[in-house]
Amino acid sequence: MRPLARALALLLVLLAAACQSSSAGMGMDFDSGGPGWNNFSGGKVFGAPL
């Protein structure tokens, strides 16, 4: 029984790991540009007296 119990425990661990590895995240690509903040001048924007 002990080897069987160990095998079952190992199987459960492997199953849990397999489930865990595929249970988060979307991973979708799409054809659209980024926000285009390359010229973001934060210092001028957020701190300057307006």
By the rule CB under 8 A, 15 interacts with another protein: yes
Quick check: 21 binds another protein (CB under 8 A)?
yes
CB of 11 to another protein, least distance (A): 13
Of the candidate residues 2, 4, 5, 42, the single one contacting another protein (CB under 8 A)? 42
What is the Cα–Cα distance from 12 to 5, expressed in whole angstroms?
A: 10
* Helix (H) or strand (E) run with residue 28 in it: none
CA dihedral 7, 12, 14, 19 (to 10 degrees): 160
Residues of the shown chain interacting with another protein in the complex, contacts defined by CB under 8 A: 15-16, 19-50
